[in-house]
Amino acid sequence: MPSTVGTDDSNMINESTETFEARVETPNETMSDDEMTEILPFSFRERIITFVIINFALFISYALYSLPGAFLPLYDLDRGISSGITGLILACVPLCYIVVCPIAGKLLDRYSSKKMLLLACGMLTVITFVCAAVGKIHNNKLFILAIIVLRLFQGACGGLIDVIAFAITTKIFPDNIALTTSIIETSLNVAVAIAPFLGGVLYTAGGFYLSFVVTAGGVALVLITSIYGVSDVNTKRDDAGGDLLGVVKQVAVWFPAWHSAACMILFNYYIPILSPYVQATFGEGPQFSGFLLMVNTAGICIAAPFLGHAMDRFNPYIFFVASSVLLPVCYWFLGPAPFLSELIGASKTQLAVVLVLIGLIVPLGCYPGLLIMYDVYKVRFGKIPQSVKNYITAIYCASFPLGGFIGSAISGLISEFLPFADATMYVSFAYFAETLLMVVFVITVYRDKRASTSDKDETKSLLS
């Protein structure tokens, strides 16, 4: 039977708060669709429609995140803008995600989740249309200033959408947090994978202007469907209280988010250095490098829903620990590492297979993170206040762009001094420090669990 994580819900009907929490927080029970409908003010159909629309919203916002990656360097080059400035423009969005996610968690305490979603989508629509017009600015200094400001606002809107989507999803599907998280992350990865290709096609067809106009139309479609299709799920602060600082002080609570970030560091680490390595070693151009990154992302997209379903049904800590061991070991075979050179040689097939395996392993460390964060808090403090849920969700959402930013940044620095095989080997050795931290984390949570179960009425941890 599935393990579930508790949820407080001020929107329920026909049942008391205590009854609802007792049913949802019991890890060996799960509610049927009819039972869930009884205590939530919207049906299973309405919850599914809401989930589909917020997935679409996330898909579009992340597509805008990576869309300029294919054409902006060429466009800036034609304008005489340096690659360093182009990198800054592209980095604006993930940096803004990191900053905005905690703020979004605080805003969810006070304002309607649906109204915030509509505001974010509306602002993103306008900003993206304005981005299309910025290309008509001939002065490079003004163009750079304008596009950076607009990309920062795009990142802010994307961060809001990210946190709102996860907060709504965990509220309406408390029994399937890992599964719904994996589906969301699949949408995001598909968006990140295909958006650069789509951006290249649009740029070839209609230049800078068309690239942003079409995507702005997509955001406008999300806005319209959200108005009529998204249920107004209550994520506001309840009487139980809770604050962000209190969550941050609990290292064991946010450690799963850090582990997600660590997995994303390795997932993004080889992206900036893969093309030069492929060209130098195999004589292949960017097309083959693009294919390798595509199969790498495809591994995540294919495995994620199945793994998410399994994480909801079995002990998610097992997947968590497995990722901390398997991921750095896979990295040894990327180069491959010098100490493996006598056993396996570098080849295109070897590289493709290893990248697929990395794509399959990364979800093991990322997708159970939110479920485990809820569980750790519940083991230590019992019921989870809604405001704490919002903060936990915000921290979890911020972990992905944080890992992506760190991974891409350090790979560029390290690759200046080390060849590909050494660069990937040394970062895998460094990652084993994360493996040791994972062991300490699991032991700590297990001890907390044993202490909490000394009272019969205490809710058991997922480790039980």
pLDDT in tens, the chain (464 residues): 333 334 333 333 333 333 333 333 433 344 444 444 444 567 888 889 999 999 999 898 888 877 887 677 777 778 888 766 777 787 778 788 888 888 888 888 788 889 999 999 999 999 999 988 888 888 888 998 998 899 899 889 988 998 898 888 888 888 788 788 888 878 887 887 777 778 878 888 888 888 889 989 999 999 999 999 888 888 776 665 666 666 777 888 889 999 999 998 988 888 777 877 888 888 887 668 778 877 888 777 777 778 877 887 888 888 889 999 999 999 999 888 888 877 888 888 999 999 999 988 988 888 888 889 888 888 888 788 888 888 888 888 888 888 888 887 787 677 778 888 888 899 999 999 989 999 899 888 888 888 776 554 444 444 44
Cα–Cα distance for residue pair 229/339, rounded to 1 Å: 56
Treating both helix axes as pointing N-terminal to C-terminal, what angle do 386-414 and 251-269 enclose, rounded to 10 degrees?
Answer: 30
Q: Are 64 and 125 in contact (CB under 8 A)?
A: no
Tell me what pLDDT residue 124 has. 93
Which residue shows structure tokens 């693009």? 290
209, 112, 204: which is closest to 167 by C-alpha?
112
Which pLDDT does position 126 carry in this prediction?
A: 94
In this prediction the pTM is: 0.74
Q: What are phi and psi of 239, to 5 degrees?
A: -70, -15
- Those residues whose C-beta lies under 8 Å from the C-beta of residue 434, and which sit 6 or more positions away, are 259, 262, 324
Collect all residues with Cβ–Cβ distance below 8 Å to 442 and sequence separation of at least 6. 317, 320, 321, 463
Cβ burial, residue 245 (10 Å; 0-12/13-18/19+): exposed
- State the CB neighbour count (10 A cutoff) for residue 84: 8
Return the DSSP state at 42.
S
pLDDT of residue 242: 64
Q: Could you tell me if 324 and 440 are in contact, meaning their C-beta atoms sit under 8 angstroms apart?
A: no
Residues in contact with 44: Cβ distance below 8 Å, sequence separation at least 6, in sequence order: 33, 36, 37
pLDDT reported for residue 320: 87
pLDDT of res. 410: 81
What is the C-alpha separation between 173 and 190, in angstroms, rounded? 22
